[in-house]
Structure 1
Amino acid sequence: MTNTPKVPPADVLPANVVKVRDDHRPLSFSPVGDNFELREGSEASWINAGETFGHKELRERIEPWLTSLFQSEHLSLLAGSGLTHAVHYLAVGKPATGMGEVSLATHKDKVKAAAEKAAKEAGRQQGNFEDQLRVANELMRGLEILEDSKADILRKELGKVMQGFAESILKSEAGIAAAQENEREQAFNTLVTFLMSFASRTGTRDRLSIFTTNYDRLIEAGAGLAGLHLLDRFLGNLTPIFRSSRLDLDMHYNPPGIRGEPRYLEGVARFIKLHGSVDWVQTGKDIRRIGLPFGAEKIDPYLAAPGLTGATAHELMIYPNAAKDRETADYPYVELFRDLAAAVCRPNSTLVTYGYSFGDEHINRVIRDMLTIPSTHLVVISRDDPLGRVMHTYEQIGRPSQISLLIGPALADLTTLTENYLPKAAIDKTTFRMSELLKQRFLTKQGALQPNSVAPDGGD
């Protein structure tokens, strides 16, 4: 005899929110055993009140809708920290290392107070690591202008903070790389499926643009396993250098027997790390990407190389850190955000966010501008919304017909999402041909049942 699990009351169950296709407003539903049920106040045209439904019914609504949107003329993916946490959880069974509080001895209370104020002005409830780091950098520049001796002390403190933060990022990478073989393979296979669901676009469509606010190299690792070529602003092989020139480089191939008609190479995407990366270092007037292995234990040994001119962790290009003066404070981030705006703010464009909490106002501003173009669409996929930022942004933008929502573990859990709701991770012309064949056979069968009917091709 088995014990029937007790289901907690509906008001304490985790809420899931879906809004796709012709839904006029977000629909909230909760798990009931192995199925789901709409919460009180939610009404849908595709399910009657009080009836339960499962992943099958949700897939019939979501998957065709996403497949259609993913074949928009322009497609972009914005991945937040939720992607790293999801893959890390699959591999290790716990979330990745988060950003802690900046620990400073110099004007600690004032830095914290200023960070809290900046966070509230940006619509966040409390200051995070980036807010504190930004304020600390501004304070250091002010002390340098005043020729205050505390400037050197603060610079050394910030160097230690940056080194500790970089090592925490590497620790999360190492957790995935050193996980048990079965769990690690499952995690990376899920990541590969996730990425290829977006990157599987026909040659007549614009390249997928991948943007991320993460500092780790998880997407690069997944792309390498998937055979996905990433085009970014770095040029070179040994220590690639960041270039501001936008040449729209691409990859083509010549089909056998055809000359002068190059075609797009499949499995290529453009890639931009909006907040920098743990392996980007400012050296002299240049920004270079160093050969830092995925999940390395320490970063210092890889900074002790000829050409890096004695770079330390303080020269790491992690937003909003800048090792020099105000001139470099905006570089290269201005270039990166310009790429984001250029990619999404154009007609017939779809932007999909995964694991992004809408806590960065500079990104939210671009998204709001994008949605002023009627033919654009935003798809928000998030496992949770603990601070209510996603729903607040949805209400604030005020364009429900251009926004789709998939929020909650029943929809946005990475394994559930890739298995049930994302499009097939392949350029799937076979399915289209099969659909046309079945349609013709269906029409032919219907014509055979009606003696006076006309054949599908218009003949007798």
Structure 2
Amino acid sequence: MSRNIEPLNLLKVRDDYIPMQFIVDGDKLKLRADTVLPSWLATEEFGHRDLRNRIEPWLTSLFQSEHLSLLAGSGLTHAVHYLAAGKGAAGMGALTLSHYHTEINDAAKQAGEAAGREHGNLEDQLRVANELLRGLEILQKHDESTALRQELQTGMQAFAQSILASEAGIASAQEEKREQAFNTLVTFLMSFASRTGVRDRLNIFTTNYDRLIEAGAELAGLHLLDRFLGKLMPIFRSSRMDLDMHYNPPGIRGEPRYLEGVARYTKLHGSVDWVQTGKDIRRIGLPFGAASVEPYFQAPGLGDATAHELMIYPNAAKDRETADYPYVELFRDLAAAVCRPNSTLVTYGYSFGDEHINRVIRDMLTIPSTHLVVISYDDPLGRIMQTYREMGRPSQISLLIGPALADLTNLTENYLPKSAIDKTTFRMSDLLKQRMGAEQPPAKRPVAETDAFDGSDLV
């Protein structure tokens, strides 16, 4: 994510049919010359308060939908890393191979172009290389398959190191900035998780391999329910979706109440601490921002696990891996959570580069009562607006794109619902309405024939 060139600011909420484009000019905001003046603005110049009055009540209403889901992409990691370390998180470098290098790169490039990317990325390379490895093993070319497997292990190790380096960049940042970054992350998460007890649990989905959301949830005291069961070395289970957390208030009779601060959590693309051991997927005790994953493989029960067994390389261009364990379970959770009536899905930092996720979102929008909120710092590849136009359902989509809207600090301070005061605010509003309704308006004096009529009695 580049922060040197300010990307376009684009807003579409409420009953807007056409997205509004504007630029930041000091403390003022101005519409672009080719943008039609919306009905809720009086002039082409406006301020941040006008945006807040337009956006915050709308998001507050959507966040109390019957079903609410958050999809976080790499933009969230970059945003928090930028707040803590003053730069973006480490990116995914290309995989260096000496065996079948040209063939793997050409196939990865074709896969990237098919998915709408200009070039193939590391995930495309890993997928193609693993497919080739399987082919060599079927052809019983043992020497070539052994050499390619060793190179893949080295590549996966480097990939894991880049993920841990991003975590370490946040964990080892200067204390004041690190606290600010984590406080902003906590505020961001709790804006979504603070739902009334009668609503369905918040569903958090992420395409990231790092553990930033887990770290933020720990600081916020937010309980995350995922598919892993156990304490020492949790194992991935298919039978965990009906689990929840309740409590019994003192003196209460009847059914227990939902415990506040609980969310369901799904990592769609796996995680840097997921390891395949035999027939099981386990989560190892890898500290946040650890120097390397290798020392944590040296434990009973992991066998001869290496970086090649890390579950961090799902297929992002085609759907083959989504039909294999455990990805079939993860994407089933996504579809089951969002494709329901009265459901709202909020994406943050997601570039719409994964077609298997976009397909679920398209299916969700076929239900008229669903809504999609897209929040992104920028749209460098044009994928967001392209997908917006292709879906063809503008009344069910809200857009907040650009640093004036989606910068994590601006977003949490100005536009997201405030989790700690919203319930109190609602109660105060109801109380004021009751009091105003109970008060009798003063009787109006009838207009005498000699009185000068100035219209004041009609106000």
TM-score by length of structure 2 reads: 0.92
Task: Note the 1:22-421 alignment, pairs <5 A.
Answer: 22-43=15-36, 44-49=38-43, 51-148=44-141, 149-320=143-314, 330-421=324-415
> 1-side partners of 2:367 and 2:7: how far apart?
34
Deviations 1:153-209 (A, max 9, x none): 111101000111111111111111111110000000000000000000000000000
> Runs of 5+ in structure 1 lacking a partner?
1-11, 453-460
What is the distance in 2 between the residues matched to 1:329 and 1:137? Answer: 16
Aligned counterparts of 2:241 and 2:266: Cα–Cα separation in 1? 15
Deviation per residue, 1:302-333 (Å, 9 max, x gap) = 01000001210000001228xxxx99981101
* SS of corresponding position for 1:449: coil
Give the distance between the partners of 1:351 and 1:379, measured in 2 at CA: 6
State the alpha-carbon separation in 1 of the partners of residues 396 and 45 from structure 2. 28
Aligned 1:405-444 pairs, distance under 5 A: 405-426=399-420, 428-444=422-438
**What's the offset of the Cα at 1:448?**
2.7
Match of 1:3 in 2: none
DSSP 3-state at the match of 1:72: coil
Asked if the contact 2:226–2:240 (Cα under 8 Å) also holds between the matched residues in 1, the reply is no
Kindly provide the CA deviation profile for residues 311-367 of structure 1, in whole angstroms up to 9, marking residues without a partner as x: 10000001228xxxx999811011100100000001000000000000000000000
In 2 relative to 1, CA 327–88 (structure 1 residues): closer, same or farther, beyond 3 Å?
Answer: closer
Deviation of 1:261 (Å): 2.0
Secondary structure at the counterpart of residue 150 of structure 2 = helix
Per the TM alignment, residue 14 of structure 1 is displaced from its structure 2 partner at its CA by 3.4
Three-state SS of the structure 2 residue aligned to 1:311 is coil
Secondary structure of the 1:277 match is: coil
Secondary structure in 1 matching 2:441: helix
Could you report, residue by residue, the CA deviation over 1:83-113 in whole angstroms, capped at 9, with x for unpaired residues?
A: 0000000000000001111111111111111
- Bigger Cα displacement from structure 2, 229-238 vs 95-104: 95-104
Which whole-Å CA distance do the structure 1 matches of 2:81 and 2:437 have between them? 50
Q: Secondary structure at the residue paired with 1:318? A: coil
Of the structure 1 ranges 112-121 and 401-410, higher mean CA displacement relative to structure 2 is found in 112-121
Q: Quick one: which amino acid aligns to residue 412 of structure 1?
A: A
SS of corresponding position for 2:10 = strand
CA distance in 2, matches of 1:327, 1:365: 15
C-alpha contact (below 8 Å) 1:14/1:30 kept by paired residues: no
1:427, distance to aligned residue in structure 2 (A): 6.8
- The residue type paired with residue 173 of structure 2 is A
**Superposed displacement of residue 401, structure 1:** 0.2
- Output the CA distance in 2 between the equivalents of 1:196 and 1:346: 23
Whether contact under 8 Å (1:202, 1:427) holds in the other structure is: no
Distance in 2 (alpha carbons) for counterparts of 1:87 and 1:171 = 14
Please list every run of 5 or more consecutive structure 2 residues that lacks an aligned counterpart in the other structure. Answer: 446-459
**1:94 counterpart SS class:** coil
Secondary structure of 2:273 counterpart: strand
Q: How many angstroms apart in 2 are the aligned matches of 1:328 and 1:190?
A: 33
Quickly say closer, same or farther: Cα 1:207–1:368, change in 2 above 3 A: same
Q: Which amino acid aligns with 1:58?
A: L
Once the two structures are TM-superposed, the CA of residue 442 in structure 1 deviates from its matched residue by 3.2
Label 1:449 to 1:381 Cα distance change in 2 as closer, same or farther (>3 A). same
Secondary structure of residue in 1 paired with 2:330: helix
Distance change (3 Å), C-alpha of 1:143 and 1:329: farther
- How far, CA to CA, are the matches of 2:268 and 2:276 in structure 1? 16
CA-CA distance at 1:119 after TM superposition: 1.4
- Equivalent residues of 1:170, 1:295 under 8 A apart: yes
Other structure's SS at 1:350 match: strand
- The alignment of Structure 1 onto Structure 2 pairs a total of residues equal to 435
**Alpha-carbon distance in 1 for matches of 2:239, 2:434:** 51
Give the aligned CA root-mean-square deviation in angstroms.
Answer: 1.6
Distance 2:138 2:323 in 1: 16
- Show CA shifts across 1:241-279 (max 9, x none): 000124410000001011332000000000000000000
Letter in 2 for 1:120: E
C-alpha separation in 1, matches of 2:344 and 2:63: 7
Q: Contact 2:123 / 2:314 at 8 angstroms: preserved in 1?
A: yes
Contact 2:349 2:377 in 1 (8 A): yes
Amino acid at match of 1:349: S
Summarize the Cα distance change of 1:418–1:157 in structure 2 as closer, same or farther, 3 Å threshold.
Answer: same
